[in-house]
Amino acid sequence: MKEEVSVLVRNTRFGALEGVLEREGKVLAWKGIPYAKPPVGELRWRAPQPVEPWTGIRPAKAFGPVSVQKCEDQVIGSEDCLYLNVFRPNDAQEGLPVFFFIHGGNNQTDSGELMDGPLMADSLQGVVVTINLRLNALGWLNIPAIKTGDPLEDSGNFGLLDILKSLDWVWENIEAFGGDPNRITACGYSSGSRDLLCMLISPLFRGKFAQVVTFSGGFTTTEPETGARTATKAIAKLVVEDGKASTQEEAVAWLDSAAPEVREYLMGVDAKRFGALMAGAAIRMAVFPHLFADGVTIPKDGFEAVARGEATQVPMIVLSGGHEFDLPANNDPLFKNADFSDPQVVREYRFATNYGSALFGYVNAEQNARTFSIQLGRKAPVWAGRCLWGMNPAITGEFGAMRMGGTHGLDLFTMMECERAVYAVDDEVFTPANRPGRLAIAKVYRQYLKNYLHTGTPNGEGLPVWEPWSNAEGGPKLMLLDADNEKPILTMSSDCVVEEEVFQQIEADQTLSPDRKAYLMEHVLNGRFFSQNLDRYWQEKHK
């Protein structure tokens, strides 16, 4: 018993932690580790502050609170949420590579619990770190009343500062868990990938990680002024509810004044009331603006910094789904409770998801790969991949293939061997028949990642060669990852999505009447993270 306790107790610079055994004893886990002071009271909307050291041995056996967020019809979580989790193989290895994971959820929902840390630590034979960060208006807000004069805090990118603070914790403490801080692979899923891409152009993160992996994330920034206007309008609802103003217009004016009483009011609002303010953004930045291009944490011209050679140059793996837009479309009011026995519904759904998926997949894979590959002076390779699993009706059924095949995040959840997640629109999707193939492709994903963590390339014995992206015509572009019922199907392809060609295909499509096409363009596809250029194209053609 003494030997078991000793391996579970690790000394950090802030104090000792005692973890737990997981995965039938194959993995050591430390959960709910504070990496900053709770951002409560006067620390609301402040840069994360160092943890207070403790005496004795602190239990690290349960996940910490998640950030305030809307979950179905209720708001859950706590403002005290700055915790991380560490998982490693139960052996004596030292100097292990570190897999640092940033969860998705549109910077509005979820937590580090999204990642199956024990499975990944065991499979990757590395140290896995997952984090919580501030979400919603508690994590992303830049209105005048909360500004302190500190350039970092005045950026409004508190969630990004939380990620930076957690990375600093890893640098300072990960050796105590057998990890090598010089071998950190930063990985993000969805909004976590969008955060990670901004970290590549932020001067604050230079030297903080050795390489990156993105699951379904593209370039996203917001002008601070636009973000302030949107957030002020949202918070004005609370001001009216609390009797500080009689109309929405008066409330906006009061908030814009930045008077001392405005800050005092905002600091006193219950944290959970911020959790529902801009919920349901449905990957629309206009509803919930974040990642503010303030010129300090993120360059004012955003990803234009890449072309100038000012972005961090590290190896990259960029991953996307073959039908990314299925998940957002399934949650869109037009389709959420639609009757799919109606052929018109099916035609409209296929129109929205075919073109939306092409463009969503493009910004998550092709745009990332192409842009970083032409970075001035770039020498680090970029590998691009696309998940096609589930798109074959013979594997997941006609309905399942249409509504979840290759969709947003399916590669991540498939890699973690999830049987259901949010993608089981039909009982026939995850079947005993296709389970061997699913497990096989999951193993392939993890083997490519393991190789990447340990050697800097996804390639290794027993796997098809994954060639780096080439901008040359006819050069290698994407590794296509799929499986039949029994085995993985892996194909290196020179084909890729060209954004302008998708626009032209939409224009030429005659499967719908002009009125229904216009409706879908303006109410389903518009305003999404991937559709800025599409919105501009459509408006210019049809104004």
pLDDT at 413: 92
pLDDT at 2: 44
Fold of the 2-215 domain = Rossmann fold (3.40.50)
Max alpha carbon distance in the chain (Å)? 74
Q: How far apart are CA 369 and CA 383, in angstroms?
A: 7
Q: How far apart are CA 299 and CA 219, in angstroms?
A: 13
pLDDT at 1: 41
Q: How far apart are CA 326 and CA 349, in angstroms?
A: 9
Helix, coil or strand: residue 160: helix
Q: What dihedral do alpha carbons 494, 497, 500, 502 form, nearest 10°?
A: 130
Here the tokens at position 86 are: 């560490």
pLDDT at 368: 97
Here the tokens at position 19 are: 């973890």
The CB-side HSE value for 57 (13 A sphere, CA atoms) comes to 12
**Per-residue pLDDT reduced to its tens digit, 347-386:** 999 999 999 999 999 999 999 999 999 998 899 999 999 9
Q: How far apart are CA 450 and CA 386, in angstroms?
A: 18
The residue with tokens 């997640």 is: 421
Specify whether the CB–CB gap between 402 and 358 falls below 8 A: no
Spell out the residues 6+ positions from residue 517 whose beta carbon is closer than 8 angstroms to its own: 351, 506, 509
Q: Where are the domains of the chain?
A: 2-215, 224-275, 318-494
State the helix-helix crossing angle for 499-508 and 343-361, rounded to 10 degrees: 160
375 backbone φψ class: left, alpha, beta (φ>0; ψ -120 to 50) = beta
pLDDT at 421: 56
What are the angstrom distances between the C-alpha of 74 and each of 68, 106, 113, 231, 281? 11, 17, 19, 21, 16
Q: Could you write out the DSSP letters of every residue in 351-387?
A: HHHHHHHHHHHIIIIIHHHHHHHTSTT--S-EEEEEE
pLDDT at 278: 85
pLDDT at 3: 46
**Per-residue pLDDT reduced to its tens digit, 118-175:** 999 999 999 999 999 999 999 999 999 999 999 999 999 999 999 999 999 999 999 9
Spell out the residues 6+ positions from residue 383 whose beta carbon is closer than 8 angstroms to its own: 315, 316, 317, 318, 458, 466, 467, 468, 469, 479
All residue ranges of the chain with pLDDT < 50 are: 1-4
DSSP bridge partners of 12:
15
Q: How far apart are CA 62 and CA 48, in angstroms?
A: 22
Nearest Cα residue to 86 out of 110, 106, 107, 115: 115
Compute how many other C-beta atoms are within 10 angstroms of the C-beta atom of residue 462. Answer: 6
DSSP 390: T
Rg, C-alpha atoms of the chain: 23
What are the angstrom distances between the C-alpha of 382 and each of 210, 251, 315, 441? 13, 48, 6, 21
**Angle (nearest 5°) at CA 439 between 436 and 441:** 110
